[in-house]
Amino acid sequence: MNLTMPGTLGLTRELITPVLRDLVNRLDPMLRSVVSYHFGWCDEHGATLNGNPGKAIRPSLVLLAAEAAGARPQCAIPGAAAVELVHNFSLVHDDLMDRDECRRHRPTLWAVWGDPVAVLAGDALLSLAHEAILDSDSAHAGTAHTVLAVATRELIRGQSADTAFELRDDVTLGECLEMAWGKTAALMSASAVIGATLAGAPTPVRDALGVFGGNVGLAFQIIDDLLGIWGQPEVTGKPVYSDLRSCKKSLPITWAIEYGGAAGRELAAWMTDRAHAAGATDDELHAIAGLVERGGGRAWATEEAHRRAALAARAVADVRIVPGPACELHALAHYLLDRQA
C-alpha cells in the first residue's frame, strides 16, 4: 500500500469491500438491503449506488499495522472487516439513540425505516463483525478476537457515558476524555493491535502500535468535536453548529466550561437550557461558538489534537517496524488531523 492519503484509505476500501459484501449477503433480504443502504451501496429502494461508504480509517489502521509488523495486508483482512463492522454497528445505534437524522449526507436508518429496523441492523452488524474475524485462519485469530471483543465493550462504555452526560451539567474534562477514549480511541487502538496480532508481531510492536492507534483515535475525536462546532455543513454533512444545538458535552466545550473563566460560565449557563438551545437561531449559536473560542476551548483542543498525534508518532519511533508502512501510518495520522469532515 504505497500510496499517499487518501490513497491508502481507497485501497483499504477495495480490499475489504468484497469481504464486507460477502458477510452482508449472509443476512436476510430485508436487513441486507438496509445495511447495504447504510454502506452507500444502494439507495433506500435497493438501486445500486456508488455512494460514500465512510473513510475506512479503522480497517486502514489494521492493514497498515499488519504491514508495519512485516506481514502482507491480506493476512489482516478479516480483522479489518471486523473493526469496520463494529464501527458501523456503533454508528447505526448511535444515530438512533442521539436521534441524528443525517449521516454521510443521507437520512439515517431509523429516520428511513423506523427504530426496530435500526436496532436490528446494528445488531446484525455487530454479529457479522464476529463472523468476520472467525473467518480468519491466522494462528493468532483468537487473540485478535479477544482484543475486538474488549474494544467493543469499551466502545459501549463510551457511548453509555455519552448518554449519561446528556443529563448532567457537571461533566469534568477528565470524564469527557475517558468517554472519548471509550467511544473512539479504544477501537482505533484495537484496530492497530488486531493488525499487528494477525501479523504475528512480538508484544513490544503490538503494544507500540496500540498506543499509536489510541492516540490517533483521541486526536481524531478532538478534531471531530471541533468540526461539530466549526465544521462546514456542506463538507461534514451535519447541520451547522450541530453539537451546540444538541448541548453535547464535547471536549472543547467541556474545556471552556471548566477553564474558560467568565466566557466558560456564560457558556455553562446557556448549556443548561436544552429546549432553548434546540430552537436557537444560527446567529445565537454563532455567539455561543464565540464563547467556546473566548473560553480557550478551541485553542486547547487544537493543541491537544497535535499533542496526541505527536505521542502517537513517538510510540512507534523506537520499535522495529517496516519503514514504508510506518510512513503511511504517520501520513494517515496527519490526514486525520487536517481533515475538514
168 binds its own copies (CB under 8 A): no
246 binds its own copies (CB under 8 A): no
Residue among 5, 40, 127, 341 that touches its own copies (CB under 8 A): 127
304 binds its own copies (CB under 8 A): no
Nearest CA to 307 among 251, 232, 253?
A: 251
The footprint of its own copies on residues 52-111 (CB under 8 A) is 89, 93, 96-97
Q: Hey, what long-range contacts does 19-25 have (CB within 8 A, 24 or more apart)?
A: 19/77, 19/78, 19/80, 19/81, 19/132, 20/81, 20/84, 20/85, 23/81, 23/85, 23/128, 23/131, 23/132, 24/128
CB of 166 to its own copies, least distance (A): 9
Which DSSP letter does residue 66 get?
Answer: H
Q: How far is CA 205 from CA 193, 277, 296, in A?
A: 9, 47, 37
21 binds its own copies (CB under 8 A): no
Q: Over the Cα atoms of the chain, what is R_g?
A: 20
Q: Where does residue 56 fall: left (phi above 0), alpha (psi -120 to 50 degrees), or beta otherwise?
A: left
Beta carbon nearer to its own copies, 97 or 240 = 97
123 binds its own copies (CB under 8 A): yes
Nearest CA to 111 among 50, 8, 34?
A: 34
262 binds its own copies (CB under 8 A): no
122 binds its own copies (CB under 8 A): yes
294 binds its own copies (CB under 8 A): no
* Other Cβ atoms within 10 Å of 303 Cβ, number: 12
CB of 258 to its own copies, least distance (A): 22
CB of 318 to its own copies, least distance (A): 31
Cell reading at 105: 449526507
177 binds its own copies (CB under 8 A): no
120 binds its own copies (CB under 8 A): yes
Asked if the bond preceding 29 is cis, omega within 30° of 0, the reply is no
Residue among 1, 112, 156, 341 that touches its own copies (CB under 8 A): 156
Residues that bind its own copies (CB under 8 A): 26-28, 30-31, 89, 93, 96-97, 115-117, 119-120, 122-124, 126-128, 130-131, 134, 141-142, 145-146, 149-150, 152-153, 156-157, 159-161, 163-164
